[in-house]
Amino acid sequence: MALIDLHKREIHCKIVYYGPGRCGKTTNLFYIYNAVAEKYRGKLLTIETKGDRTLFFDLLPINLGKIHGLDIRIQLYTVPGQAHYRATRKLVLKGVDGIVFVADSLRKRREKNIESLLDLRNNLKEYGLTLEEIPLVFQYNKRDLVSVNIPLLTIEELENDLNKELKAPYFEAAAVKGVGVFETLREISKRTVKYVANKYIFAKKTAKAQGGIL
């Protein structure tokens, strides 16, 4: 749930990186954390199992300038992608304002991508949200593997599998190398802040129209 704090003059939005296990969600946050100057980011919080798999979520707070005189604070979350963590993913989605769906370009992960998107749709539905309505950006990750002879899905195939009807913006990425990471972040942030700000302005207008009740 976006929070607009007129006391501190801040607007808080929650963006969640979603996608199947090992697609590179945590890698995106690590890259952003390392690339952003300290004064524009908070602490990186990760909850993982013994390996490097996300157990609950990762969280990275970042500051993104201003809108309507309010400081923009974005909380980037990742979900645990492994199928059996469905309940946890749902918890992390609580109050989400924007979504990056990270798809794995490995051909053998094709079904996992599709399953994960369906899982996202179902989880959103439980909060009364739809993929059509919420700000959404796709990231087709691991494109660097094109050069090493590992069977990859083509962009056309990924688009066809995941984004045919949604027609959300997409970015090709190699998150380990940082390729496409900021392009993805910029687009989802822009869309999310706009979405939240519009809702806020709309709420203010209707409040006036109804005599001050928000």
Partner 1 sequence: MMVLTSERVKKLKGVLKEQLLSIGVSLAILIDEAGNVIASSGKENGVDTTSLAALAAANFGATAQIAKLLGEEDFSILYHKGKKDNIHFSRIGKEFILVTIFTDETPLGLVRLRVNQISQDLLNLLVEDD
Ligand X SMILES: Nc1nc2c(ncn2[C@@H]2O[C@H](COP(=O)(O)OP(=O)(O)OP(=O)(O)O)[C@@H](O)[C@H]2O)c(=O)[nH]1
> Should residue 39 be labelled a site residue for partner 1 when binding is judged by CB under 8 A?
no
Residue 167 to residue 177: CA distance in whole angstroms = 26
- Using CB under 8 A as the binding rule, whether residue 169 contacts partner 1 is answered as no
Measured at the alpha carbon of residue 188, what is the angle toward residues 63 and 148, in degrees to the nearest 5?
A: 110
Q: Which option in Mg ion, ligand X, partner 1, none does residue 145 bind, with CB closer than 5 to 8 A by kind?
A: ligand X
Give Cα separations from 11 to 72, 97, 197 (angstroms): 5, 12, 9
How far are the Cα atoms of 60, 68, 84, 93, 138 from residue 120, in angstroms, in the given order? 21, 32, 13, 9, 13
81 contacts ligand X (rule: CB under 6 A):
yes
> Alpha-carbon distance 107 to 21, whole Å?
14
Specify the pairing of strand 98-104 against strand 136-141.
parallel
Q: Is residue 184 at the binding interface for Mg ion, with CB under 5 A as the rule?
A: no
- Would you state the structure tokens that stand for residue 103, as one six-digit string? 């798809």
199 binds, among ligand X, Mg ion, partner 1, none (CB under 5 to 8 A by kind): partner 1
Residue 141 site contact among ligand X, Mg ion, partner 1, none (CB < 5 to 8 Å, cut-off depends on kind) = ligand X
Q: Which of 71, 73, 92, 87 is nearest to 17 (CA)?
A: 92
Determine if 105 is a binding residue for Mg ion (CB under 5 A): no
> Counting contacts by CB under 6 A, is residue 175 touching ligand X?
yes
- Regarding 69 and contact with partner 1 (CB under 8 A), the answer is no
Note the residues at the interface with partner 1 (CB under 8 A): 1-8, 12, 14, 42-43, 45, 56-57, 59, 61, 75, 77, 87-88, 91-92, 94-96, 196, 199-200, 203, 207, 212-214
Note the residues at the interface with ligand X (CB under 6 A): 19, 21-27, 52-54, 78, 80-82, 141-142, 144-145, 174-176
